[in-house]
Structure 1
Amino acid sequence: MARLLPILALVVIGLYVFAYVDLALTDRTRVRALPKPVWILVILLPVVGALLWIILGKQRGGSRGGESRTIAPDDDPSFLANLRRDEEQDERIRRLEQELADLDDDPPKD
């Protein structure tokens, strides 16, 4: 039993360190149930607090409820719409420049 006590103490300390580091690195939007400052106090509860954080404290990777994922520009409808609009504007500018050039080339009608 005396040999097991130091190992158990290291496991508990490791659990606390893991829980605090995990809490510190977790984005505020992924924290569930309680605000982050309250979770700091909960983790202080001997062993149970750290386990509560690990089990209930944050959303795990599988469910990304409110987060939006990044999509490639060629799949983004707003990007494609802006691209089309820019192309139409460029074409209109080319037409207007050509009209101006044609007007400059015409001799005066005096």
Structure 2
Amino acid sequence: MARLLIVGGFLAAVFWVFSIVDCAVQPATRHRGVPKPAWIAIVVLIPVIGGILWFALGRRRRGEQPSVPFIPADDDPGFLSRIDKREQDARIAELEAELARLEDEGDGSPTDSRP
């Protein structure tokens, strides 16, 4: 039993050191989730579990592309270039005409109730 504990402890120490070195050597672009110094701290402060977390969650695989952040349509130049300006202007004119018609109809009550 003692040999098993010694071998297990030795393997855990080797895995811990390997995890620290692997985390420190990887370029910052291959880190997922939190920044590189945070991953190093996680691996150092939580020896075996930190290494498992690093290999399972934190390390981006070779060839894996980083996720693209969401860009709203009004900030996306590609989307804005695809919009037909005439269609957009026609839709705005149509909405303005509908709004003017609704304002003219009203509901029969005065819009300004001040004396």
TM-score by length of 1: 0.54
Q: CA RMSD in A?
A: 1.3
Match of 1:45 in 2: 46
Partner of 1:59: helix, strand, or coil?
Answer: coil
Match of 1:17 in 2: 17
1:56 correspondence with 2:54: no
- Runs of 4+ deviating beyond 4 Å: none
> How far apart, in 2, do the equivalents of 1:30 and 1:46 lie?
21
> How far apart, in 1, do the equivalents of 2:47 and 2:29 lie?
26
> How far apart, in 2, do the equivalents of 1:32 and 1:54 lie?
11
Residues 74-85 of structure 1: pairs in structure 2 closer than 5 A: none
Aligned residues: 65
Match of 2:83 in 1: none
Structure 2: runs of 5+ lacking an equivalent: 67-115
> How far apart, in 1, do the equivalents of 2:23 and 2:47 lie?
16
Cα-to-partner distance string for 1:15-36 (whole Å, 9 max, x where unaligned): 1111111011101011001111
Native 8 Å contact 2:24 2:40 kept in 1 = no
1:6 correspondence with 2:9: no
Seen in structure 2, the aligned counterparts of structure 1 residues 46 and 22 have a Cα distance that, compared at 3 Å, is closer
TM-score by length of 2: 0.52
Cα-to-partner distance string for 1:42-73 (whole Å, 9 max, x where unaligned): 1121311111011111111242x15xxxxxxx
Structure 1: runs of 5+ lacking an equivalent: 67-110
